[in-house]
Amino acid sequence: MDGLNVSIAFFFLVVGVCQVLRWLSKRLLSPGTHGCLAKEFAGSFQLCTSCLELRMLMDIGPWSGGFGLDVVLTLLFLLSAAHGASSDGASANPTVSLQEFLLLEASLAVTVAKLLAQGVGAGTGWAVTRLYWSWELTQLHFIQNLIAPECSSSIRASLPHAAFVEGSCSFLFHLVLLKVRQSHPLCRVPVLAATVTFLTYTAGPFTGAFFNPALATAATFQCSGSSFWDYIQVYWLGPLTGMLAALLLFQGNIPRLFQKNLLYSQKSKYKVPKAKVTAELEGDKPQRKRKGGKSNSEPRA
């Protein structure tokens, strides 16, 4: 279990370094630069390094480290919760940034800046993790360092099936995100962490369950076994399609592209309460009776 303890210490170190980076950037940089660049860079760096180390534990741990899938899934839930709690509003996911753009919550310039920061952060995280593995601090890292140059593709299904799996994961993740994004962090963070853990457990054997283009690019694009275009279809187009489908289902429209609601009828905001209408009708009845009584009491010629 020494290898697992070293990995846990590495997770704590990464989260601590990223928190220091966020703290410094908030004080030294302008709010726009901090929001667009520093937060997304730190979030993507933290997510990528943690994911790569966790994948190493998932691949090698069961037969070399003496721990099972339950330990890895528990770590995944805790790391996802830590990422959600410490991200300071950063998504570290290109499809989430594009979703914010389509919801008119971010401009094109801000979205492009976030995407660049996420790509640089994921690439830096990959380089730092490979350097960390090269130190071979444990037997797990020694084995990982040997097999890293010969890594195989994470696509373990037919191309349409793999793209459907990644798209479905993205669809479910974004549906949950749209539902809870305005909720209190005490509710939002564990719900999203549980969703990520469930999707990884379910879809991991087929594609690795990344549903994050930046993370997938850093983690698996350099591996042999699939072409670059295969990776694009599965890990870029699949999650993007899933996000668009989730947004359309949740909103009924895509505000950046069209305002007309295609799925849900628009009801008027101003409704007269039914009880009030009934009371008014009942109040009119005595007046009508009086008028009727007057007309009956008039003498006839």
- pLDDT averaged per 10 residues in sequence order, the chain, 301 residues: 87 95 88 80 96 92 77 94 91 95 93 94 95 92 86 92 97 96 93 97 94 94 91 97 96 90 69 53 53 48 39
pLDDT digits (tens, 9 = 90+) for 156-201: 999 999 999 999 999 999 999 999 999 999 999 999 999 999 999 9
- Name the CATH superfamily, with its identifier, for domain 1-251: Glycerol uptake facilitator protein. (1.20.1080.10)
Separation CA 93–CA 142 (nearest Å): 30
DSSP secondary structure letters along 188-242: HHHHHHHHHHHHHHHHHHHH-----HHHHHHHHTTSBSS-HHHHIIIIIIHHHHH
pLDDT for 98:
97
Separation CA 226–CA 163 (nearest Å): 13
pLDDT for 297:
46
Q: How many CB atoms lie within 10 A of CB 69?
A: 13
Separation CA 11–CA 9 (nearest Å): 5
0.95 surpassed by pTM:
no
Domain boundaries, the chain: 1-251
pLDDT for 2:
76
pLDDT for 67:
79
How many CA atoms, within 13 angstroms, populate the side-chain half-sphere of residue 66?
6
Q: Could you tell me how far CA 201 lies from the centroid of its own chain?
A: 16
pLDDT for 59:
87
pLDDT for 150:
81
Separation CA 185–CA 300 (nearest Å): 79
pLDDT for 301:
39
